[in-house]
Amino acid sequence: MLLLLENYELPIVSATIWRTLILLQSLSPMMPHAEKKTVFVRNPDLIAADMDGDTVIMSIERGEYYGIGGVGSRVWDLLAQPISVLDLVEVVCTEFDVAPSVCQADMERFINELKVLGLIETADIA
């Protein structure tokens, strides 16, 4: 799957399927407004490694692995700690040349897809 953001991209490729879906926006609904303050964190049951700037994520339980490149790898790094979509957008807009409104919409779709794939989960904040 490939999510295009103005001047950067957030690809996720499932090795078990070996197909690329272009423009993730047509596949995933936007997150409801109430969920924008929800925080997310990586699924702790996954194994991830950096490979030449891209992130490879493996689920031993499901026998699947995924590749995330570009800005997606940076987002994966940020998801090591609980973080909201709004905070992700703030960091990405600071580090990359992207309009906040474009980044917000694309980040919501990207996070939603990561959640659907079971790569991230909602974090409990005490």
Tens digit of each residue's pLDDT (9 = 90 or more) over 7-27: 344 444 443 332 222 223 333
Which segments of the chain are extended strands (E)? 2-5, 8-14, 39-42, 47-51, 54-59, 64-68, 83-84, 120-122
* pTM as predicted: 0.72
The rounded radius of gyration (Å) of the Cα atoms in the chain is: 14
Q: How far apart are CA 95 and CA 1, in angstroms?
A: 23
Task: Kindly give the pairing relationship between strand 83-84 and strand 120-122.
Answer: unpaired
Token digits for 77?
Answer: 């790094």
CATH architecture of 2-121: Alpha-Beta Complex (3.90)
pLDDT one-digit tens code per residue, 45-91: 999 999 998 999 999 888 998 999 999 999 999 999 999 999 999 99
